[in-house]
C-alpha cells in the first residue's frame, strides 16, 4: 500500500513539474535575436526630447513574437520613463512578416541610445 501511494505521488509530481516547464516561454535562438535586434535598431530613431536634453541611456526589453509578425513587449526597464514609453510604443508598431514564423518565442534586448552613435 505504501509503495502504491509513493508511486502515485511520484507520478503526480512528474506531471506537475512537466506542466509547469511546458508553459514557460521559449527563448529565441541567437540568430533570431540578433536579426530582431538589427531590425528594431534600424526602425528606432533617437527621440527629439532626448537629443535636446542630451540624454543617453540603455533600455532593456523583453518581447514576444506574435503570429502576425508584430512584437508584444512583456517588460521594459530604463532610468527614464519617457524613453521606456517611447521604445515600447515604437517596438509594438513594428511588423515583420519575416519573423512571424518564430511566433511564441521570447527575445531579450538591450537597446543603447548613445548620442555618438546617432
- The pLDDT value recorded for residue 33 is 92
Residue 118 has pLDDT above 60, yes or no: no
**Among 33, 49, 46, 113, CA closest to 78:** 113
User: CA 69, 71, 72, 74: dihedral to nearest 10 degrees?
Assistant: 140
pLDDT-based confidence at residue 25 (cuts at 50, 70, 90): low
Per-residue pLDDT tens for 74-93? 999 999 999 999 999 999 99
Strand partners, 77: 60
CATH class of 26-113: alpha beta
111 sits in which H/E element: strand 105-113
Average pLDDT over residues 44-50: 91
Average pLDDT over residues 44-61: 92
Residue of 13 and 79 predicted with greater confidence: 79
- Domain extents for the chain? 26-113
Amino acid at each position: 500500500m505504501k509503495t502504491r501511494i509513493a508511486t502515485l505521488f511520484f507520478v503526480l509530481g512528474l506531471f506537475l513539474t512537466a506542466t509547469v516547464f511546458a508553459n514557460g516561454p521559449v527563448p529565441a535562438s541567437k540568430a533570431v535575436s540578433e536579426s530582431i535586434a538589427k531590425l528594431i535598431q534600424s526602425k528606432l530613431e533617437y527621440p527629439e526630447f532626448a537629443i535636446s536634453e542630451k540624454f543617453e541611456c540603455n533600455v532593456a526589453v523583453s518581447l514576444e513574437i506574435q503570429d502576425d509578425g508584430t512584437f508584444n513587449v512583456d517588460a521594459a526597464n530604463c532610468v527614464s520613463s519617457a524613453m521606456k514609453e517611447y521604445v515600447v510604443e515604437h517596438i509594438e508598431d513594428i511588423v515583420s512578416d519575416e519573423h512571424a514564423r518564430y511566433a511564441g518565442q521570447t527575445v531579450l534586448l538591450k537597446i543603447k541610445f548613445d548620442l555618438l552613435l546617432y
